[in-house]
Chain A
Amino acid sequence: AQRVTQPEKLLSVFKGAPVELKCNYSYSGSPELFWYVQYSRQRLQLLLRHISRESIKGFTADLNKGETSFHLKKPFAQEEDSAMYYCALNDGNEKLTFGTGTRLTIIP
């Protein structure tokens, strides 16, 4: 069975500092990986997906199949980045398996 691990429940970073949110997965096939974000009082929304290889709001994530990781990175944190971040894996059957989430707080 697939599994997604986000080792950090809480992460605090100073404004302007680099951010890295860790995500590791276990899955025997070729996964579709996503990062979802939930800002305060807003619904869960897609931040980015590995298949599109795009940068959203300055965030990027690279799929490393060797290390089974999909870490989320941003070179310079902004205060509006404070939110709950979830890494998720789709096994091809429209079933998203989520990590437990990391609450990112940007310190002004």
Chain B
Amino acid sequence: KAGVTQTPRYLIKTRGQQVTLSCSPISGHRSVSWYQQTPGQGLQFLFEYFSETQRNKGNFPGRFSGRQFSNSRSEMNVSTLELGDSALYLCASSLGQAQYEQYFGPGTRLTVT
């Protein structure tokens, strides 16, 4: 079956702008999680959605938000971009329980100038 897909793969934005990233999970997966990966902080959990509801949230400011649609596709939005938001944003999907594997997408590389 098709893997997790993320669009766009690369993005360049200016400080103060906002951005929306998209993630399509593996068919049948109802949980979508988002992670930020930077050289300094590593992989950090942003939030997780399950059946259109945010179920878990990491320690990121309110500028980071997300949503999930009825087909399990998810979007992540970052408003008022800062230089420090430059990172690889990874999306992962799973069946929705702790013991199940999370399948990762290729990521969206966001550069804020």
Contact = CB atoms under 8 A, between A and B. Distances in A.
Interface of A: 32, 34, 36, 43-46, 49, 51, 86, 90-101
Contacts of A100: 42
A51 B105 CA distance: 24
30 contacts: A32-B98, A32-B99, A43-B3, A43-B106, A43-B107, A44-B104, A45-B103, A45-B104, A46-B101, A46-B102, A49-B99, A51-B99, A90-B98, A90-B99, A93-B48, A94-B31, A94-B33, A94-B48, A94-B56, A94-B96, A95-B33, A95-B45, A95-B48, A95-B56, A96-B33, A96-B35, A96-B102, A98-B35, A99-B42, A101-B42
Contacts of A99: 42
Interface in B60-105: 90, 92, 94, 96-99, 101-105
Given A43-B104, A94-B94, A97-B45, 13 more contacts: A32-B98, A36-B104, A44-B90, A46-B102, A46-B103, A49-B99, A94-B33, A94-B55, A94-B97, A94-B98, A95-B33, A95-B58, A98-B42
